[in-house]
Amino acid sequence: MAEVRVEHLVKKYGAARALDDVTLDFPDGGFFGLLGPSGSGKTTLLRAIAGFVLPESGRVFIDGEPVENTPVEKRGIGMVFQNYALFPNMTVAENVAFGLAVRKIADADKKRRVAEVLELVQLGGFGARKPHQLSGGQRQRVAMARAIVTRPRVLLLDEPLSALDKALRVDMQIELKRIQREIGITTIFVTHDQEEALTLSDQIGILKDGRLVRHGPPREVYDDPRDSFTATFLGDARLFTGTVEAGGLRLADGTLVPGVTTPTIAVRPENIHLSRSEPATPCHLRAMLNQKIFGGALGTCLLDWQGEVIKAVGRDADFRTLPESGPVWVSWQPEHAMPITG
Ligand code: ADP
Ligand code: MG
């Protein structure tokens, strides 16, 4: 197993910076989720770690050793990409063994390792099948098996589940986590699915325009995003901006939010409470309820405040007591106002 560190990585394509001074540690044996909008540099970062992309400047370390001069195949990395291609004419076992073929490993040894790794991804009896005889999820497991059969030090996964439908994806998330725990391999996982990243990762990192804007344990980043991009990209949040006074934050409609010392705060929809009568918490304002959207156990209310939309997500049962539309009270607990400093 191995820890990975990137230091001040810069990768340019023409004038654009796909990676812009990225410094980040990926802990040994951890599951690190990389998130960011399309084009933010996630794939470039994985490719730089693997050695497919040569950065203009900055360094990559695996287990403390610089790997700039280490070719791809010697870095000890296993990879699964979004469009994982299995060889259609090869059996499952042959596909998995392909990773071993170029290495000098005895046939008996090869066979045993392929069998072991197929067992690990729960495809024990499937070695003789062809890819077209497998479901999408099973093909995904073959791709995983092929990536780990070489016993890499680091596993890089670039949106490996995005080709699967939602239900299968959730199954595969659990499976992926189990395999990762079982072999304890340092894993860097790219996804555009925030829930997936929050569920699977010990640590997450958020990229935007090639820059790392925030990283840390998922709950910490979610509960205290600190910068406005992270607050609205990871989950949903309403930003409130005003003027800081001695008593708190004065919003455009004159509302004073006590205890706030930053010009901007963010509040998540699940922390927004709606009521007919004036709430006890001092963090409250009046807004116009425009729409109640039924969503099963949880519902969504859309409100207008100062020409902007405030969204509240809560138990449908609680929303039923509200009028269909018209003025209501919007409130949140003081601890749910997340200070935005960047
Ligand atoms: P992500 O994986 O987050 O969607 P990428 O790392 O693929 O983002 O791309 C980051 C930026 O670098 C994008 O603006 C993309 O257009 C650009 N880019 C990536 N690869 C190349 C390439 N081979 N040539 C030119 N531009 C590239
Ligand atoms: Mg990508």
Domain boundary (184, 211, 230) is at 230
Query: What is the pLDDT averaged over residues 249-276?
Result: 95
- Ligand 1 close to Cβ of residue 42 (< 6 A): yes
Are residue 170 and residue 243 in the same domain, yes or no? no
CA 54 to centroid of ligand 2, rounded, Å: 17
What separation in angstroms does the CA of 103 have from each of 21, 38, 97, 98, 273?
A: 35, 36, 10, 9, 61
How many CA within 13 A on the CB side of residue 256? 7
Looking at residue 319, its pLDDT comes to 92
- Ligand 1 close to Cβ of residue 13 (< 6 A): yes
For ligand 1, atom 20, which residue shows the shortest CA distance?
A: 44
Per-residue pLDDT tens for 124-137?
999 999 999 999 88
For ligand 1, atom 24, which residue shows the shortest CA distance?
A: 13
Least confident of 35-39, 43-47, 97-101, 111-115: 97-101
- Ligand 1 close to Cβ of residue 16 (< 6 A): yes
Looking at residue 99, its pLDDT comes to 79
- Ligand 1 close to Cβ of residue 38 (< 6 A): yes
For ligand 1, atom 17, which residue shows the shortest CA distance?
A: 18
Are residue 211 and residue 302 in the same domain, yes or no? no
- Cβ-defined contacts of 121-129 (< 8 Å, 24+): 121/145, 121/175, 121/179, 122/175, 123/92, 126/92, 127/91, 127/92, 127/93, 127/96, 128/91, 128/92, 128/93, 129/91, 129/92
Q: What is the dihedral of CA 159, 13, 231, 317, to 10 degrees?
A: -40
What separation in angstroms does the CA of 223 have from each of 30, 43, 110, 172, 267?
A: 21, 27, 47, 27, 10
Query: What is the pLDDT averaged over residues 294-319?
Result: 94
Are residue 245 and residue 335 in the same domain, yes or no? yes
Ligand nearest to the CA of 19: 1
Q: What is the CA radius of gyration of the chain?
A: 24
CATH number for the domain that contains residue 36: 3.40.50.300
Domain boundary (230, 245, 271) is at 230
Are residue 62 and residue 165 in the same domain, yes or no? yes
Residue with tokens 């939309």: 309
User: In angstroms, how far is the first alpha carbon of the chain from the final one?
Assistant: 35
Are residue 213 and residue 243 in the same domain, yes or no? no
Residue 323 has pLDDT above 90, yes or no: yes
Token pair for residue 205? 């990192």
CATH number for the domain that contains residue 295: 2.40.50.100
Ligand 1 atom nearest the C-alpha of 207 is 3
Number of domains in the chain: 2
Looking at residue 292, its pLDDT comes to 95
Token pair for residue 279? 């709430």
Token pair for residue 234? 């990871």
Least confident of 97-106, 200-209, 259-268: 97-106
Looking at residue 1, its pLDDT comes to 62
Sign of CA dihedral 181, 62, 36, 332: positive
CA 38 to centroid of ligand 1, rounded, Å: 9
Whole-structure pTM over 0.85, yes or no?
Answer: yes
Domain boundary (168, 198, 230) is at 230
Q: Give the range of the structural domain holding residue 312, as residue numbers without chain letter.
A: 237-340
- Ligand 1 close to Cβ of residue 36 (< 6 A): yes
Residue 101 has pLDDT above 90, yes or no: no
